[in-house]
Structure formats: structure tokens, C-alpha cells
Amino acid sequence: MRIRDKIALGTLAGLAASIPQLILNFFFVSLGISAYYSFQLSAGVFVRDHQTTITLGGLLLGGLLWEFASAFLGVLIVYVLHFTGREYWWLKGILSSISFMYILIFGFIFDMGIARIIPQDIGSNFAILFENALFGIIASYLVFRWGDYARS
């Protein structure tokens, strides 16, 4: 399968890469390593912390926002690979994912006090960091595999 449209390629790669990331997130929360689900962090920007898990609207909002962010990040990875080349695609995926989501979103925006849920324990932060690295590897692999990069 070759997808030539960069937006569609990044969106599909980002959505597909979010599946293992969310599975890992559920695993980390169930083991007690992380205190928060990914969709809770997303929804916590817009609704109160107790509404992120007990209401259907909070769950739906958090899930949709997480998927939109994943799709956007997939598109970002497409353009990073387009402008910098296909070499070290896995490293560029990790760098894009961690730089954008972990440092910019989780670091800067959470520090501004906009979000109502801010993970401040070390376990949650390491789990989120690891999940974002996994996302970056998988998304960049899918971009590389599904795009025109594997043939050129």
C-alpha cells in the first residue's frame, strides 16, 4: 500500500500508531506505574478532572482529542521525513514525538496551568515519555512503509 497524500499518510500512521501506545498506557495504569490514562490528560484540558473518567462525554472528548493529536503528530512526522530524508526514520520519529508531545504539550502547556490534570509523579512521567517514544517509532515506521519513502 502506497499513500502519496502527505496529510492522509500522516493521519493514518498517527491513528494506527496510537493503538499500541494506548494499549501500553492501559498496561502502565493497571500495573500502577502511571496514575493517568492518556485520554484523561487530553480531556483534562477542557473538563474537570472527575469528569474525565466518570462521564461518557469526558471519555469521548478525551479519546477524540488524543486521536486528533496523534493524527497531527503523524502528519508532522511525514513532513519531518519529507524535508530531512528517509535516513534514520526511527530516530526522527522519536525526536518528533517526544519534542512535540512530551516537551511542548506536556511540559510547556501543562506548566501554564491550563490543564486540570497534571501528572507530577515520576512513574506517570516516565510512562508518558516511553509511550511517546513508542508512538514515534511506530508512526515513523508506518510513514516509511506506507509512503513513497521505502522505494526511493
Q: How far apart are CA 22 and CA 17, in angstroms?
A: 9
Is 36 part of any domain?
yes
- For 59-93, how does the pLDDT look when each residue is reduced to its tens digit (9 = 90+)? 788 889 889 999 999 999 999 999 999 899 999 99
Count of domains for the chain: 1
> Per-residue pLDDT for 131 more than 90?
yes
- For 32-68, how does the pLDDT look when each residue is reduced to its tens digit (9 = 90+)? 999 988 888 887 777 776 677 767 887 788 889 889 9
More confident residue, 61 or 136: 136
Is 151 part of any domain?
no
Q: Are 1 and 127 in contact (CB under 8 A)?
A: no
Taking the complete model, does pTM exceed 0.85, yes or no?
A: yes
Which residue range forms the structural domain that includes residue 89? 6-146
Residue 118's pLDDT is what? 76
Q: Are 29 and 22 in contact (CB under 8 A)?
A: no
Contacts of 56 (CB under 8 A, 6+ apart): none
**To the nearest whole percent, how much of the chain has pLDDT over 90?**
53
Q: How far apart are CA 69 and CA 102, in angstroms?
A: 12
More confident residue, 59 or 27: 27
C-alpha dist (Å) from residue 63 to 4, 15, 41, 56, 149:
27, 11, 10, 10, 30
Residue 17's pLDDT is what? 97
Is 15 part of any domain?
yes
Average pLDDT value for the chain:
87
Q: How far apart are CA 53 and CA 50, in angstroms?
A: 6
Is 99 part of any domain?
yes
How crowded is the C-beta side of 55, counted as CA atoms within 13 Å? 12
Contacts of 111 (CB under 8 A, 6+ apart): none
Q: How far apart are CA 104 and CA 23, in angstroms?
A: 23
Q: How far apart are CA 44 and CA 105, in angstroms?
A: 13
Is 112 part of any domain?
yes
- For 102-128, how does the pLDDT look when each residue is reduced to its tens digit (9 = 90+)? 777 777 777 777 677 777 889 988 998
Is 79 part of any domain?
yes
> Per-residue pLDDT for 152 more than 50?
no
Of 56, 54, 53, 34, whose CA–CA distance to 106 is shortest?
Answer: 34
